[in-house]
Chain A
């Protein structure tokens, strides 16, 4: 007999975002209830409520750590600029793309596709993500039980900080939708915000898991 499967996305969201010591037991309970006849809507609603309530409870329980994580996340760009000097990034740029520094503008004109791919910002963004991963990893090693809370707060603050630039990118593109430069600029920055940053934070928190 085929058992009804609960909504996979809701289960994945819970596996990723649910906080607390009993997260696995809670997911198991919801799956059990779904298989006993509860609807998928009920399951998804319970999953959403569980994520929000456990997050709020964990934040209240660990409020000092939460304040530190929000502060660190908010000023992360400044910390990055202070520790990882732009000149170091320029040195890295020179390693993998020797023409980049010396003839930047001419290179862009000669090779518009290279410009559209925004290779000139790739090193800086990669280093930023690596630095983010390292900081999250250190924090998660220091507070292994609060890995989920730290990762979520870092993710929220980092994405939140990218929002003004994203809005500018979007309005610029909407003013001139036919211009590929604005389109690619928005596309790459969106990928950086919604894929690269969350992935780096997630990887940092996963690597920060204590060895068993």
Chain B
């Protein structure tokens, strides 16, 4: 059986945030979307490291925006999920659904 790298938990969250944000996905809204849905504080540095890793895997593409005064003259980098990235997300979803179906109810303590 061919070995293929699985998406990490945070990688999946970042990819899902990219899908939700579509054209407006850059560091700040991506981190905000993950914080909002997970209820945890997210470091922007971690978001960018993950995005760069996903980009190297070919799951994400990027484009440079215009520099603005609000950002101290620095440009935004917009990210977008690629077709390969979408396939990976679908695959991860399918894997999770299949695994969840075999899991009994999680209420109560550990058996």
A contact set with B: CB distance below 8 Å: 6, 11, 20-22, 24-33, 35, 46, 49-54, 57
Contact between B44 and A50, CB atoms less than 8 A apart: yes
Name the B residues within 8 Å of A52 (CB-CB): 45
Name the B residues within 8 Å of A32 (CB-CB): 28, 70-71
Extra pairs beyond A25-B74, A30-B44, A52-B45 (15, CB < 8 Å): A20-B52, A21-B52, A22-B27, A22-B51, A22-B62, A26-B27, A28-B67, A29-B26, A31-B72, A33-B28, A50-B44, A50-B45, A51-B45, A54-B45, A54-B48
B contact set with A: CB distance below 8 Å: 26-28, 43-46, 48-49, 51-53, 62, 67-68, 70-72, 74-77
Contact between A46 and B44, CB atoms less than 8 A apart: yes
Compute how far the CA of A20 lies from the CA of B72 in the bound complex, rounded to whole angstroms. Answer: 19
CB distance from B54 to the nearest CB of A (A): 12
Contact between B28 and A24, CB atoms less than 8 A apart: no
Compute how far the CA of A196 lies from the CA of B71 in the bound complex, rounded to whole angstroms. Answer: 33
Name the B residues within 8 Å of A20 (CB-CB): 48-49, 52
Compute how far the CA of A5 lies from the CA of B51 in the bound complex, rounded to whole angstroms. Answer: 27
Compute how far the CA of A24 lies from the CA of B66 in the bound complex, rounded to whole angstroms. Answer: 12
Q: Which of B46, B48, B53, B70 contacts A25 (CB 8 A)?
A: B48
Contact between A29 and B70, CB atoms less than 8 A apart: no
Contact between B43 and A50, CB atoms less than 8 A apart: yes
Compute how far the CA of A28 lies from the CA of B64 in the bound complex, rounded to whole angstroms. Answer: 12
Among residues of A, the one whose C-beta sits closest to the C-beta of B56 is: A61
